[in-house]
Structure 1
Amino acid sequence: MRKALIWLPFVAFVGVLAVVAIGLFRPADRDVRSALVGHELPEFALPAMVEGVPGVDKARFTQGTPRLLNVFASWCIPCIAESPQLMRLKAMGVPIEGVAVRDTPENTGIFLRRYGNPFVGVGDDRDGRLQLAIGSSGVPESYVIDGKGRIVLQHIGDIRAEDVETIAAAVRGAR
């Protein structure tokens, strides 16, 4: 019995080491999922961020046509990387509404001229209130909204080429 107790600290040390190693090699999921997926968008009305492009409000999402809601910013590097995919979705007939967060009209305009404007409307969310209200924790982030204004899918991070077909199918299926 005494000989077994001598090995107890070593076994405990190996156990702690194993837990630490598992944590290092399999990091935790740090994505913050919106609690509103499956629920209706909150009421909102954002003024236009860019001249010549309308703002965005909840009524646009309740007219029977599923849409993609994209939260972005001109200062966001992954938003630049995502631009070609948004243009591709637009070319596929996906209506995309943009929400520019913590940004200025000047910088947003420059961004859209440089990287393309896939948006039907771009809302001004300078204070980030809508972003927080829909459960978005960063940029870029996109939401598939059905024709009744209900959030069907949340895509965290930039939309990559391999995501385009899945998102387009989700919009088509969100009737």
Structure 2
Amino acid sequence: MKRALLFLPLVLAAVIGVVLFWGLGNDPTKLESARIDDPFPAFNLPSLQDPAKFLSQQDVKGKVSLVNVWATWCPSCRVEHPYLLKIAKQYQVPVIGLNYKDDRDAAKEWLIKLKDPYLFNIFDEKGKLGLDLGVYGAPETYIVDKKGVVRYRHVGVVDDTVWKSILEPKVNQYAQER
């Protein structure tokens, strides 16, 4: 019995090692979303810049676009911001902002200071739209097709590599669909 107890820590360490090694093969940015191939959730929320102007699900339809979940409290959002500016300007892709659980004044100041890549910004102060979308945190970026259907979800920073290898081909593919 004593001898078996001596091997218990070794067996336990081996099991933990196997589980951790298996986890290394998983892509942490690939999180399934229940919203893929479903319409963008219905909402009626104010614009970040103009609290008197309300935006809805209809504002997300019409053209293939990126919906970017961001916040001033998110350090990774600051990292991806220049890439979103580039995508909006250089590639002429509409980028819609979803300002998530943030302070309105801080967010407006951020956009003045860092420039604004967004066609418009939905102000989701309480996080209800984020919850309906299945947001885990910021940043997250969704591709929404012309009909307002969520087609793809990217968790994490959007940079040149992510844009060129993942998002741009998908945006082009969905733009070709009727």
Give the TM-score normalised by the residue count of structure 1. Answer: 0.84
Asked if residue 172 in structure 1 is aligned to residue 168 in structure 2, the reply is no
Asked if residue 112 in structure 1 is aligned to residue 111 in structure 2, the reply is yes
Deviation at 1:17, TM superposition (A): 2.8
- 1:106-138 Cα offsets, whole Å, 9 max, x none, are 111111112221100101100000000011110
Alignment correspondent of 2:19 = 23
Alignment correspondent of 2:47 = 48
Distance in 2 of aligned mates of 1:14 and 1:76: 40
Q: 1:144 to 1:6 in 2, by over 3 A?
A: same
Q: What is the aligned-residue RMSD (CA, Å)?
A: 2.6
Deviation at 1:11, TM superposition (A): 7.0
Q: 1:72 to 1:152 in 2, by over 3 A?
A: same
User: Which secondary structure does the structure 1 equivalent of 2:23 belong to?
Assistant: coil
Structure 1 unaligned regions, length at least 5: none
Deviation at 1:146, TM superposition (A): 0.7
User: Which secondary structure does the structure 1 equivalent of 2:157 belong to?
Assistant: coil
Question: 59, 80, 83: which is aligned to 1:82?
Answer: 80
Deviation at 1:61, TM superposition (A): 2.5
Distance in 2 of aligned mates of 1:153 and 1:160: 16
Q: Which has the larger radius of gyration?
A: 1
Q: 1:47 to 1:107 in 2, by over 3 A?
A: same
Larger deviation, residues 17-26 vs 135-144:
17-26
Give the TM-score normalised by the residue count of structure 2. Answer: 0.82
Distance in 2 of aligned mates of 1:140 and 1:13: 40
Distance in 2 of aligned mates of 1:55 and 1:74: 21
Count of residue pairs the alignment pairs up: 169
User: Which secondary structure does the structure 1 equivalent of 2:80 belong to?
Assistant: helix
Q: Percent same amino acid among aligned pairs?
A: 24
Alignment correspondent of 2:36 = 37
Distance in 1 of aligned mates of 2:128 and 2:3: 57
Distance in 2 of aligned mates of 1:137 and 1:13: 35
Q: 1:46 to 1:11 in 2, by over 3 A?
A: same
Structure 2 unaligned regions, length at least 5: none
- 1:116-172 Cα offsets, whole Å, 9 max, x none, are 211001011000000000111101111000111111110001112211122122122
Larger deviation, residues 90-99 vs 41-50:
41-50
* Contact 1:67-1:146 within 8 A present in 2 as well: yes
Amino acid at match of 1:171: V
Alignment correspondent of 1:94 = 93
